[in-house]
Amino acid sequence: MSNAPLSLDVQNISLERGEHLILNKVTCTLRPGELTAIIGPNGAGKSTLLRVMASLTTGFKGSVSLGPIGSLESLEPSIRAKYIGWVGDQSHLPFAFTVFDTVRLGRYNWHKGIPSQKDDVAAYLALDQLEIAHLAKRDVTSLSSGERQKTMIARLLAGETPILLLDEPLANLDIGSSLKLLALLRKKATDGATVCLSIHDLPLAYRFADRVLCLAEGELIADGPAKNVLVSPQVNRAFGIESTIATGLLLATLNEHSSP
């Protein structure tokens, strides 16, 4: 079953672009039942690592394997897409499809262009989960940036893949929508999915994530339970902050922390 719980194993991933080392021997495992947040300063390699996990980037050293199935490179793209769903932080929608048709495209590897009632039901369920069913007949090119982001996330969920990878899914979303989306992804993980996303909001990572991976200059400098990693010396040094736990995660710049 393609929707059975699956882990994603990343081993010694290194990637260079010209003379720049973007990722340096990154090893981690994404596990079913967990929501993993990838954090790090700008340019740390978060998006690149997610694209490697999703088989959207080539030229890297190391390996990515899928649970007991084996190397992702050994799978046909159409088969791989049944296991791993992806949404990026910037999704361009140049064609005048309706929102419903765009979301149903998330199931293309199942229906191959001939959608069934099951595909329609999955698309409408995803629209309901993102609270955009009222947009179903709208032309995607007429949407706001936040509505487009929700549409692409709904397309991801419609695919019903056991592994969900999201690069900055909160981009263009207001705080209410961000909280609802993270709660939805939290439930997906609780129900057995393997969920991984990049995020800049550390208090939200503290609130919703099980695990946190912290990248800095292409290296994985911390990997563990969110509530431990987010107050670790490694994360503080990477961001130049001081983090403490009171009623939640409190952040201050080092200058603020040291001022009288």
∠ CA 242-244-249, nearest 5°, is: 110
What are the beta bridge partners of residue 199?
Answer: none
Query: Across residues 62-69, what is the average pLDDT?
Result: 92
Dihedral angle of Cα 144, 150, 152, 158, to the nearest 10 degrees: -150
Q: What is the pLDDT of residue 89?
A: 65
* Whether the predicted pLDDT of 249 surpasses 60: yes
Rounded to 5 degrees, what angle do the CA atoms 155, 156, 157 make?
95
| 8 Å CB contact between 230 and 212 | yes
Least confident of 144-153, 185-194, 251-260: 251-260
Phi first, then psi: what are they for 193, rounded to 5°? -75, 160
235, 39 Cβ separation under 8 angstroms: yes
DSSP state of 139: B
| Of the candidates 110, 32, 27, 26, the residue with the CA atom closest to the CA atom of residue 67 | 32
**Confidence check: pLDDT of 1 > 60:** no
* Domains with residue ranges and CATH for the chain: 1-83+161-226 (3.40.50.300), 94-159 (no CATH)
The predicted model scores a pTM of 0.92
Which among 97, 73, 100, 99 has a CA at the least distance from the CA of 84?
73
Residue with tokens 């992702």: 72
* CA gap 29, 223 in Å, rounded: 10
| Cα 184 to chain centroid, rounded | 13
In this predicted structure, the answer to whether residue 35 has a pLDDT above a threshold of 70 is: yes
When pLDDT is averaged across residues 132-138 and rounded to a whole number, the result is 96
Three-class SS of 240-251: CEEEEECCCEEE
* 171-220 pLDDT, tens digit each: 999 999 999 999 999 999 999 999 999 999 999 999 999 999 999 999 99
Nearest to 85 by CA among 144, 12, 2, 171: 2
Instruction: Please say if the pLDDT value at position 260 is more than 70.
Output: no
Q: What angle do CA 237, 238, 241 make, to 5 degrees?
A: 60
The mean pLDDT of 232-253, rounded to a whole number, is 85
